[in-house]
Amino acid sequence: MLTHLSFIVFVAIAVYVQNLTGFAFALILLGLVGTIDLVPLPDAVNAVTALSVVNALMFFYRRRTARIERAILPAVAASLVTVVVGIALVTFLAASAYQVLRLVLGLSVVACALLLWRAASPLKSTSSASYFTFVGSLSGVLGGMFAAAGPPLVYAVYRQPWPLERIQESLIFSFAAGALLRMVVIVFTGNFSSLSLLLTLEAIPVALMVTALNANRPAPFSKKAIRNAVCALLVLSGLGMLISSLQAMFG
C-alpha cells in the first residue's frame, strides 16, 4: 500500500513540474522511484510512457490555444525513428544488468540537469533543421530506454528564442509523440506487464487532476527560477540513484 501511495505522490510532483517547464516528468518520476528502488524500473518506465501520453492529451485539451513550433518537427521525426533502438537497449539491460540500467538512468538524470543548468543565453535565431534532427535522434534513444527523452532536446529547445509557453507546448508535444510510439511497441511485443498497468491506472486520476488545475495558469516564477529549481531536484534524485546502484553493485 505504501509503495503505491508513494508512487502516486511522485506522479503528482512530476506532473506539476512537467506542466511548468514542458519537460522533466519522466526524469523526476524515474529519479524519485529509482532513488529508493520503489518498483522495478522497467515497470516504472512503462507506466511513465502511458502517463506521458495521458498528461499531454489533458494539457492540450485544457490549453486549446497551444501552438507547436514548426522548427521542432525534424527532431520529433528523428526521435520516432531512434526510439526503437532505445527500447532494444533497455530490454537487454533489464534482462542482464538491472543495476547497470539504474546507473545509466542516474547518469542521464544528472547529465540533463547539468546541461540545462549551464545552458548558454538564448540564441538570436532558431537553430537549423539538421541540428534538430541530430538532437532528436539522441533524444529518441533515451526516450526508448527510459521514456525520458529530455537531456538533448531540452537543452536545445531552452536555447531557442521562443516564449516560455511555446517551449512548454513544443516539448510536451515532442515527448508525447515519442511516448505514444514507445507504448505501441511495448504493448505489441507483450512487455507491458500487469504491474505497469496497475501503476498507470492508479496514477491517471492524479495526473489528470494536476494537469487540469495547472495547464492554463501562468508560471508562478520566472523561467530562470523554474529551471534552477528543477535542475536541483534532478541532480539530487540522479545522485541518489547513482549512489544506491553503486552500493548494490559493489557493496
Nearest to 148 by CA among 32, 6, 1: 32
Q: Is there a contact between 53 and 183 (Cβ–Cβ < 8 Å)?
A: yes
Q: CA separation (Å) from 145 to 41, 70, 176, 220?
A: 10, 26, 15, 32
Q: CA separation (Å) from 78 to 85, 129, 130, 141, 163?
A: 12, 11, 10, 10, 24
Q: Where are the domains of the chain?
A: 2-250
Q: Is there a contact between 143 and 182 (Cβ–Cβ < 8 Å)?
A: yes
The residue to which cell 529549481 is assigned: 229
Q: Report yes or no on whether pTM surpasses 0.85.
A: no
Lowest mean pLDDT among 124-128, 156-160, 183-187, 202-206: 156-160
Note the pLDDT of residue 78: 93
Rounded to the nearest 5 percent, the helix, strand and coil shares of the chain are 80, 0, 20
Give the residue, 89 or 220, on which the prediction is more confident. Answer: 89
Over residues 164-168, the mean pLDDT reads 84
162: left (phi over 0), alpha (psi -120 to 50) or beta: beta
Whether 133 shows a pLDDT value over 90: the answer reads: yes
Nearest to 169 by CA among 37, 46, 71: 71
What secondary structure letter does DSSP report for 159?
A: T
Q: What is the pLDDT of residues 174-219, one digit of tens each?
A: 888 888 988 888 898 888 899 999 999 999 999 888 888 876 676 6
Note the pLDDT of residue 121: 67
What secondary structure letter does DSSP report for 24?
A: -
Phi, psi angle pair for 49, to nearest 5°: -60, -50
Give the residue, 132 or 102, on which the prediction is more confident. Answer: 132
Q: What is the mean pLDDT of the chain?
A: 82
Q: What is the pLDDT of residues 208-227, one digit of tens each?
A: 888 888 766 766 667 677 77
Q: Is there a contact between 162 and 124 (Cβ–Cβ < 8 Å)?
A: no
User: What residues have CB less than 8 Å from 67, skipping those under 6 apart?
Assistant: 166, 169
Over residues 85-104, the mean pLDDT reads 75
Note the pLDDT of residue 131: 94
Amino acid at 36: I
Give the residue, 11 or 100, on which the prediction is more confident. Answer: 11
Percent of the chain with pLDDT over 90: 17
Set of cell numbers at residue 131: 541540428
Phi, psi angle pair for 123, to nearest 5°: -70, 160
What secondary structure letter does DSSP report for 22?
A: S
Over residues 109-122, the mean pLDDT reads 72
Note the pLDDT of residue 26: 78
- Burial of 56 by CB count in 10 Å (0-12 exposed, 13-18 middle, 19+ buried)? buried
Over residues 71-76, the mean pLDDT reads 93
